[in-house]
Amino acid sequence: MSRYGPNKHDVLIVGGGGAGLRAAIAVAEYNPNLSIAVVSKVYPMRSHTVSAEGGAAAVIKPDDSFDDHAYDTISGGDWMCDQDAVEAFVKEAPDEMLQLEHWGCPWSREESGKIAVRPFGGMKVKRTWFAADKTGFHLLHTMFQTTLKYDPIHRYDEYYVTSLLVDEGRCQGVIAIELATGRVEAIAAKSVIMCTGGCGQVFPFTTNGNIKTGDGMALAYRVGVPLKDMEFVQYHPTGLPFTGLLITEAARAEGGHLLNKDGYRYLQDYDLGVPESEPVLKSMELGPRDRLSQAFVKEQEKGRTINGEYGSYVYLDIQHLGEEVINSKLPFVRELCLKYENIDPVEEMIPVRPVVHYMMGGIDTDIHGATTLDGLFAAGETACVSINGANRLGSNSLTELLVFGARAGKAAAEFATEQEGFSSGLEALVSDEEKRIDNLFFSNGKGSSERIATIRDEMHQTMEAGAGIYRNETSLKESQEIIQELKDRMQNISIQDQSYTFNTELVAAFELTSMLDLAEAIIQSALQREESRGSHQRSDFTERDDDNFLAHSMAYRTEDGLPSIEYKPVTITRWPPGKRVYGQQH
């Protein structure tokens, strides 16, 4: 049963997290007469932005500058960042952060009352604003409450988007399942913004929640929009071994130490690109995330990690900070350790291991969030604008949600204002999608032994083994073959739950289909990048190769076979590629 007609809007935003809510506010501010829809598969306050802990970067102190923030970001990204986007980002970041303050975000402060900032890995100076270690929680609450004052914003909570409505060469809305009823609905819009987050659930150990399945990336990919730089997958060096829950970089920013099984601060043995003389980054633990994660692998190879039930790990020690500092600046870290590991970091060391944290790649967009498909925009982790390059610096992502969520909102509003209406072919698209869903729901694979959980587990194992922190041609090709096999087997899955109300098995089938598409794009992009850069480390091509690969990979979906990979140049404005050393003069 479908319903088409009443659900028509000017701008539709898929995803109710930080980027989505900021985009919605931007549209309402641009033109209060526009109708705005926010479609989310979870209640907005359950979006993954809520789990961000450490902080958000923006220039605010007199010893900092836009150029310093830009350089740290570009060098941290191993020169894969588009520098025009980075320059816009750093200049607009402080205004966005101050706007959030005016909306009510409770930033932590110094005794003088001024905004407090903390150091983060790869940053030349202290520039990370924070709200204790629950920054994302407060940021999302603030924006959600702000959206409530705008009457034009209509929410479709707990709707799962299954496809985009594309007709006459432009995106004109989405088709979604209302999870509470199972009803398939078309929601038409003159422009659509994807703000659905990343796809960390493609891997087994991740800080990402179960909702981070790359839905928006896959939806755009299927209608011909390229995915950019998908080979760059960031591992965070400090996740809990069993759950993958994040132990924020703020724990190291406040002075935490990483220790191997011998109690030795092993990072002193590795080239992290952090000079000992650097006043802020004198702590080895504040090296960039990619290099800290790679150092863990080397320790593992030397037999200097601890073997546990859920794999190898090392220790993060914050005991020396004292209970007062931990309770005031890292209360959530203590809460997570007590609840999930039954340890108290005031008195015990925290077991940690690298876990997948962030996708530098995503839907290819320009500096305004526009994709190659008219009417389709994207912002946040699901997009690749690209300010993160080959390795995102911690605390840039929350600010990115604000800056590019606002930019995409304004651009989508301008586009919608120029459109006169909707094409006549949308109803036929809705009918086709209903048939596809019915086929999956009622008839696909009945009697088959294939189960979603089995295929998902095999995907996890394959991606960790073949496309993890270190890759090579052999491991990537083996993974590629297995992913192709899993995609074939997905044609024979059986949906056991035949209910309409909150059918999580049906949603899981859609999510897994998306993740397999993205896994294939990650592997193919990594296989063709024959160099090591940032988070992409090839054991068979160990050096960075600017002559051949200072370019963005663009993965295009093909009807049959593997993705097609093309390249486009990285935008260089003022900072030519150089050696990646933090704190150097520039």
Distance between CA atoms of 36 and 25, rounded to whole angstroms?
9
* CB neighbours of residue 188 within 10 Å: 23
Tokens representing residue 430 in the block = 């809705």
Q: What is d(CA 560, CA 519) in angstroms, rounded to the nearest whole number?
A: 16
Burial environment of residue 374 by CB neighbours within 10 A (0 to 12, 13 to 18, 19 or more): middle
Q: Catalytic: which of 9, 69, 252, 257?
A: 252
Cα Rg, the chain, nearest whole Å: 23
Name the one residue in this structure whose structure tokens are 């009510």: 104
Give the C-alpha distances (Å, rounded to integers) separating 269 from 266, 279, 327.
Answer: 6, 20, 32
For the record, the structure tokens of 566 come out as 């093309």
Burial class (CB in 10 A: 0-12, 13-18, 19+), 101: middle
Q: What DSSP element (H or E) covers 352?
A: strand 350-359
Stated as kind and residue range, the H or E segment containing 11 is: strand 8-14
With a CB cutoff of 8 Å and minimum separation 6, the contacts of 212 are 48, 197, 198, 199, 200, 201, 206
Q: Which residue has the tokens 């809705």?
A: 430
Nearest to residue 267, comparing CAs of 278, 256, 254?
256
CA distance 183 to 178: 5
- Measure the CA–CA gap between 362 and 385, rounded to whole angstroms: 8
């402060």: which residue's tokens?
109
Report the distance separating Cα 550 and Cα 355, nearest Å: 27
The active-site residue out of 69, 236, 357, 552 is 236
Nearest of 400, 440, 416 to residue 163 by alpha carbon: 440
> 460 an active-site residue?
no
Contact 363, 383 (CB under 8 A): yes
- In three-state secondary structure terms, 91 is helix
Other beta carbons less than 10 A from residue 259's beta carbon: 17
> Catalytic site residue 141?
no
* 249 vs 286: CA distance, rounded Å: 8
Please give the Cα distance from 24 to 31 (Å, whole number). Answer: 11
Element (H, E) at 221: helix 215-222
Residue with tokens 């049963």: 1
Longest C-alpha distance within the chain, in Å? 69
- Catalytic annotation, residues: 236, 252
